[in-house]
Structure 1
Amino acid sequence: MAMTGRELVRRAIEFKGPERLPFIQHITPDVPDDVMESFEIDRAKGGWFLDHPALDDWGCVWERAQDSITRDIGQVVYSPLEENWAAFDSYMPPDPGDDFYYERIPPLLEEAGERYVMLSSIMTLHERHRFLRGFENALMDYQLEPDKTHNLLDMILEFRVRQFQEINRRFGGRVDGLFLTEDWGTQEAPFVAIDVFEEFYRERYKVMADAAHDNGLHTILHSCGKVN
């Protein structure tokens, strides 16, 4: 019996010899069906579930051009902690147990059938830091306000860990993996030096990955930019 899509992907990620190489391609909805069929790719729904402009769950405001509504997620135009650090003392992160994050998932799980199911947990650590503080501030924070930056990253990390636990509690055994995003560089170089990454991110990534694995979830980390 041929392997299901779910078996193929799980075996590939776990290095257990899938019978063929699984493939995923994130593309816009306007790609014709015959193109998808030529690559033998199933279609599955996805989306950011945001209005335009949109206030996200962390208090950041996003905008994107209306003619690119299916092609990008836009840009943050308001960062709640950008003006100064004083607002951090009273800042409240979102609740990882909020039904908002999960109420759309059950019907998609039914539709998925025997496919591998991957949830997106985007803007993971570094991205969320820079969206909360603004890009330039975030890059300077590592040198000018390291203690506050550690505290902010710990808050973001705690949210992620608790969210992974909540996914397992609600959908344990049916959600297979997490698609995490951290755009780390330009086309020429990383945004930060390696010592900054080592101090602020390496151990936190390990904590986050361990939490995902402890809750039965693969982790797939996306990054745009040159990072080597």
Structure 2
Amino acid sequence: MALLDNPLSREELKKVIEGRGAARRVPMMIHEWINPATFKERAGEYKAVLEHYPCDTVVTYLNIPQVFDAPPDDPSYRWLNFDNPFPPGVALDTNSALDDWAKLDGVLADFPNPNYPGLITKNPLPENGVYRVGLWWYWLFERLWSIRGMENALCDFYENGDEVHRLFRALTDFYKALVARGRKELRLDAIWTSDDIGMQTSPFFSIDVFREFFKPYYKELIDHVHSLGMHFWLHACGNIKPFIPELIEIGLDVLHPIQKYTMAEKEIAAEFGKDICIWGGMDVQRIIPYGTPDDVRREVRFMFDTYFRRDGHFMLTAGNNMTIDTPLENLKALLDEALTYGITICR
């Protein structure tokens, strides 16, 4: 339990996400993006600071398959049905694990089973009335490039479209079963996943590619999540402004992080803030590692003044994982300003 304030309740968070009103303060989930172990011998100091502030969600990781490695009790619980051909340390974004689409038939015939017992953690979630989120990384684009390599993946939309659709169909069916288990076995309130479909200056691909290869599968899974009574949260780094109206159209509930220095925050807030909940991400590229505590506090206030709405639709977190160059004083400033100004602005 946080020492300075209690977490918001599940109902308070739902109200904010759905745009039905602000809570008693702006929701904050900074803890989800910082691991004290990152700071090695100083881990205890960072952990002590985090324990002094509230986190308004409890997040559990869903154990989705790895590309090559399968658990001992299910050798088919992996995305590809063959062993890793690369030497240790080879990056999958620069190499093609699935080097030939002719192998796809075998991959799909031996696709991982979403009923695998180890998919769901056996650790019970706390019964404290806090909003529950189930998380896995890599939705469609990130999963595609993780098995095809980045260069191949970007060419596949034009050269191997049928195969991409077959893969995305199988992934979507797996994810639909996964989220149904999350709702039934963990009583989740939301599903959170990632698809970094933007670069620093623009999306990775055209709106036409998005509409053909992503939008239908995104919509199908979001609709399925909604049918189970849950919200859908998406982390997508980079400049994705052209895609935001499409994401709103298909019912995405929460979008993270509106990455600083890639899009104009005030424009995004003005155009889309009424239609989607923005899970604003504090900049971790420049301000957190290299700014002063005063810089951090100013940025928190800028974000709150930009995104906050009386009808909700705004929550605060970090833009991505905080790294070892995060000063402890900057973390304190972020948490303290988020809590104190988050109370003030809601009055």
* TM bin (shorter chain): 0.7 to 0.9
Q: Provide the aligned C-alpha RMSD in A.
A: 3.2
- Counterparts of 1:171-186 in structure 2 under 5 Å? 171=186, 174-186=187-199
> How far off is 1:95 after superposition?
1.0
Q: Return closer, same or farther for 1:150/1:47 CA change in 2, 3 Å cut-off.
A: closer
Moved more, 186-195 or 30-39: 30-39
What is the distance in 2 between the residues matched to 1:63 and 1:156?
Answer: 27
TM-score by length of 1: 0.79
Moved more, 4-13 or 208-217: 4-13
The aligned counterpart of 2:79 is 58
> How far off is 1:112 after superposition?
5.3
Higher relative contact order (CA 8 A, sep 6+): 2
The aligned counterpart of 1:69 is none
The aligned counterpart of 1:132 is 147
2:208 to 189, 195, 198: 195
- Counterparts of 1:10-29 in structure 2 under 5 Å? 10-17=14-21, 18-25=23-30, 26-29=33-36
What is the distance in 2 between the residues matched to 1:158 and 1:48?
Answer: 16
Unaligned runs of 5+ in 2: 1-5, 37-42, 71-77, 242-347
What is the distance in 2 between the residues matched to 1:196 and 1:89?
Answer: 24
- Counterparts of 1:1-228 in structure 2 under 5 Å? 4-17=8-21, 18-25=23-30, 26-29=33-36, 30=43, 32-37=46-51, 39-41=53-55, 55=69, 57-59=78-80, 76=92, 79-81=96-98, 83-91=99-107, 92-102=110-120, 104-105=121-122, 107-109=123-125, 111=126, 113-171=128-186, 174-228=187-241
Q: How many residues get paired?
A: 211
> How far off is 1:113 after superposition?
2.3
What is the distance in 1 between the residues matched to 2:61 and 2:136?
Answer: 12
3-state SS of paired residue (2:130): coil
Moved more, 4-13 or 132-141: 4-13
What is the distance in 2 between the residues matched to 1:88 and 1:145?
Answer: 12
Q: Quick check: 2:8–2:56 contact (8 Å CA) kept in 1?
A: no
> How far off is 1:166 after superposition?
2.1
Unaligned runs of 5+ in 1: 66-73
3-state SS of paired residue (2:135): strand
Q: Return closer, same or farther for 1:129/1:28 CA change in 2, 3 Å cut-off.
A: same
What is the distance in 2 between the residues matched to 1:11 and 1:112?
Answer: 20
Q: Return closer, same or farther for 1:49/1:101 CA change in 2, 3 Å cut-off.
A: closer
Letter of the 1:205 partner, please give it: Y
What is the distance in 1 between the residues matched to 2:112 and 2:182?
Answer: 15
